[in-house]
Chains A and B, each alone.
Chain A
Amino acid sequence: MTVSRRRLLGSGLAAFAGLLGARSIALGAPATARAAAPGGAGTGVAPADAAPAGYVPSDHRWGMVVDTVSCIGCGRCVEACKLENHVPMDPEYNRTWVELHVIAQDGSVIVAAPDGGIDGYSAEAVAALGLSESIRQAYFVPRLCMQCDNSPCTSICPVGATFRTEDGVVLVDDERCIGCGFCVVACPYGARYIVPAGGEMPNGYPGVADKCTFCYHRTTRGLLPACAEVCPVEARIFGDLKDESSPVSAVLRDRRTQVMKPEAGTKPRVYYLGLEAEVG
């Protein structure tokens, strides 16, 4: 069978037009899904309380100091994060969690976080850990995304879905993310997870990567992230690193802070007070 040049050109054009049409139809679908998902980022529905238009990202540089000396392990931050950001209530999925770090007299380290610490640490929960060693030191360590300057998650993302904002927050574009999970394993801090289907979904989609946004919708309105807002002992000190008078700048100036896993070269923007070298 031979195909004439004219017929070939003709069918090619028709196929191209068909592709365009199919693409246009496909474009309509996510928008509808979005509108049906309350609390989804990028939703077409205008929120009742829109972010202030005057916010200039390049004027800010958000950072946090986590004070492990003050943390009482009440888990209010874990609960607040889930309720504020529609994070699945399943303890497997967390944007933030609180660990109990126990250092035994022989120097061995036990790290535990039953249910991510969301119910607070009770004597009963700690007893259930079955710690039999002679204990030298024990303290709570709130964990979250380190909002790294040199973030492995953004480097490894094959589709450029995760990026750093000018104000220093690592975000995930949930419409760009293909859910490959490379970022989940690339993160040295275990700060990412893939959103499961059938429950609360921070960004309206299952199967995409999710992580702490420093409560971007709160910080851009001048509010504290939910975890810092509810902390009863001010163990999460949040603020603008570009503002010398901010609480976070004051702590970084006056106290000796450290970052987790400095050897990873990630340049975190979450700092810690009172972390022992044994853990991290």
Chain B
Amino acid sequence: MKRPTSIRLGRPRIRRPSTRRGAAILVAAVIAGVAVLSVAGFVLASGTVSLYERYGFRPEANAQAWADLTPAYADASACQQCHAAEHTEWVESKHIGVECETCHGPLGAHASTTPPVPARAVDATGKICTVCHEQVLGRPAAQPQVDLATHYGGFPCFQCHTVHSTVIVARPPTIPHPLTRLPACTTCHAPGGLKPVPGGHVQSEDAVCLSCHFREPKVGAPPEERVTP
């Protein structure tokens, strides 16, 4: 019967160069390796590819990259060049503090291309007005704002207001006849009635009609304007 091969336990012995010649070759190899790495590093740093430049800590280069981006928003002076009339209206209006692009969106591309790329269409329903002028919790009292439930509800803002000059161009007509001892408004003003209301109106309670068509008369107004509900 064969005896099993003996297994050597413990730490394997480290081979050391047994001769002076071996030691010399090892030192030479280390020096050669360092030299090769130095040359490679020099090539990388100064040559066609620079790892440090691209991936290293490089705040100046990256800051410049952010600075080189193209602005999307221009400013009002760019708009003035073609839209002088609107610009003049705007300069004299209460909206002077509101930039063109606040409502019209970014216009940098529109202003710098020929023919200009179309500007964003402004929402004609008046949402662009209400984002600033709807009465909302938290909105400062100094900001002009309206309760949409009672302020000429249902009509687009542009029906009565101009935006660039911020003036009221049209108000709903006030009621030219006395309002006392009369039946409901819809008695005469319903569709098919004596004097029907224009299309777009809904049949409502008197109070709803009066919310738009009745205004407190100014002090000293002529008697015909002094109507009382």
Interface positions of A (Cβ within 8 A of B): 5, 9, 13, 16, 20, 23-24, 27, 30, 39, 41-43, 46-51, 55, 57, 69-76, 79-80, 83-84, 100-102, 119-123, 126, 131, 135, 138-140, 160, 163, 165, 169, 171, 173-176, 213, 215-218, 220-221, 223, 226, 229-234
Q: Do B139 and A121 touch across chains, with their CB atoms under 8 A apart? A: yes
Q: Do B67 and A72 touch across chains, with their CB atoms under 8 A apart? A: no
B158 at the interface (CB under 8 A from A): no
Q: Do A175 and B102 touch across chains, with their CB atoms under 8 A apart? A: no
Known pairs A80-B73, A83-B72; A229 contacts B49 (CB<8 A): no
In the complex, besides A138-B137, A139-B138, 13 extra interface pairs with C-beta distance below 8 angstroms are: A27-B49, A39-B69, A41-B66, A47-B70, A74-B131, A74-B132, A84-B73, A101-B138, A165-B59, A173-B57, A175-B62, A176-B56, A176-B58
Q: Do B73 and A226 touch across chains, with their CB atoms under 8 A apart? A: yes
CB distance from B154 to the nearest CB of A (A): 16
Q: Do B136 and A171 touch across chains, with their CB atoms under 8 A apart? A: no
Query: How distant is the Cα of A69 from the Cα of B143 in the complex, in angstroms?
Result: 11
Query: How distant is the Cα of A48 from the Cα of B113 in the complex, in angstroms?
Result: 11
Interface positions of B (Cβ within 8 A of A): 25, 29, 36, 40, 49, 51, 54-59, 61-73, 75, 97-99, 101-102, 105-106, 112, 130-132, 134-140, 143, 147-148
CB distance from A139 to the nearest CB of B (A): 5
Residues on the A chain within 8 Å of B54, using CB: 27, 30, 175
Q: Do B101 and A57 touch across chains, with their CB atoms under 8 A apart? A: no
Q: Do B70 and A48 touch across chains, with their CB atoms under 8 A apart? A: yes
| A-B contacts, CB under 8 A, total | 166
Q: Do A41 and B73 touch across chains, with their CB atoms under 8 A apart? A: no
Q: Which of B25, B49, B62 contacts A5 (CB 8 A)?
A: B25
Q: Do B105 and A75 touch across chains, with their CB atoms under 8 A apart? A: no
Known pairs A24-B49, A72-B132; A84 contacts B137 (CB<8 A): no
Q: Do B138 and A171 touch across chains, with their CB atoms under 8 A apart? A: no
Q: Which of A24, A27, A218 contacts B71 (CB 8 A)?
A: A218
Residues on the B chain within 8 Å of A47, using CB: 68-70
Q: Do A176 and B40 touch across chains, with their CB atoms under 8 A apart? A: no
Q: Do A217 and B59 touch across chains, with their CB atoms under 8 A apart? A: no
Q: Which of A9, A55, A73, A123 contacts B67 (CB 8 A)?
A: A55
Q: Do A173 and B62 touch across chains, with their CB atoms under 8 A apart? A: yes
Residues on the A chain within 8 Å of B67, using CB: 51, 55, 216-217, 220
Residues on the A chain within 8 Å of B75, using CB: 223, 229
Q: Do A120 and B57 touch across chains, with their CB atoms under 8 A apart? A: no
Nearest CB in chain B to that of A140: its residue: B138
